[in-house]
Amino acid sequence: MKISFDPVKLVPLVAALFKGWARSLRYELHDEAGVLEAVRSGREPLVLALWHGELFPATAFGHTITARLVTFVSQSKDGEFIARVIERLGHVTVRGSSTRGGVKALLQAKRVMEKENRRAVFTIDGPKGPRHRAKDGVIFLAQRAGARIVPLRAFPQRCKVFEKSWDRFVLPWPFTRCQIYLGEPMSVTGDKLDAEVMAAERARLEERMLALGPKG
């Protein structure tokens, strides 16, 4: 007899595990631009930009500072489970990626940001890379929403790095120290986002992201 199991039943457990894991990490914040207060207060529209490989520690930190986030989840079957976990944590999800439903999701995120005063979270090189190469979506969203982009990097001291994954995904061990870097917010151009302008804006953001982190 075949016994089917609905993975959605695990959502409460996974959400609780994530919250406990996030709270166990010992964050060391580097915020020379004083961005944290702006992220918490919601006084202005912001998009938090992170690399896909640092998704776990970066979003864990984000969850500890605000519950008013909107994030992007793919329209895949796995994405449905992930979306439910994120929503269980109190955040809002929009369904779409650079490969499917992207523009619709970006416009929906803009409406959520404006209506509910939420900050957006964007894995700028996802969902499939290339690693550390920004996609157009974050620039498009920031311009449409009148938002500045906040570079966010996470460097856990003890972690598992999945070397064979395209993004070299980082999973921090519970209770480890994790250095968090918040960069100077980037205002995007008001010019028409043609191919040349978009490429220049992506390059500016990549430069800012790669400049963040421990020195030496």
- Phi and psi at residue 52, to the nearest 5°: -60, -40
Q: Tell me the C-alpha to C-alpha distance, in Å, between residue 38 and each of 18, 98, 184.
A: 25, 28, 12
Q: Tell me the C-alpha to C-alpha distance, in Å, between residue 69 and each of 64, 87, 142.
A: 11, 10, 15
Q: What is the pLDDT of residue 95?
A: 86
Q: How far is CA 28 from the centre of its chain?
A: 19
DSSP states along 69-88: EEEEE-SSHHHHHHHHHHHH
Q: What is the pLDDT of residue 96?
A: 76
pLDDT tens-digit map of 51-70: 999 999 999 999 999 989 99
Residue type for position 57: P
pLDDT tens-digit map of 160-186: 999 999 999 999 999 999 999 999 999
Which pTM value belongs to this model?
A: 0.92
Distance CA 173, CA 165 (A): 18
Greatest CA span in the chain, whole angstroms? Answer: 62
Q: Low-confidence residues of the chain, pLDDT below 70? A: 1-5, 97-101, 216
**Residue pair 170/178 in contact by the 8 Å Cβ criterion:** no
Q: Tell me the C-alpha to C-alpha distance, in Å, between residue 216 and each of 160, 211, 212.
A: 22, 12, 12
Distance CA 35, CA 37 (A): 6
Q: Which residues are within 8 A (CB) of 203 and not within 5 positions of it... i.e. 6 or more apart? A: none
Q: HSE on the CB side for 99, CA within 13 Å?
A: 9
**Residue pair 113/103 in contact by the 8 Å Cβ criterion:** no
Q: What is the pLDDT of residue 78?
A: 72
Q: Which residues are within 8 A (CB) of 39 and not within 5 positions of it... i.e. 6 or more apart? A: 46, 48, 65, 66, 119, 150, 182
**Residue pair 111/45 in contact by the 8 Å Cβ criterion:** no
Return the domain boundaries, the chain: 7-155+177-208
Distance CA 44, CA 190 (A): 17
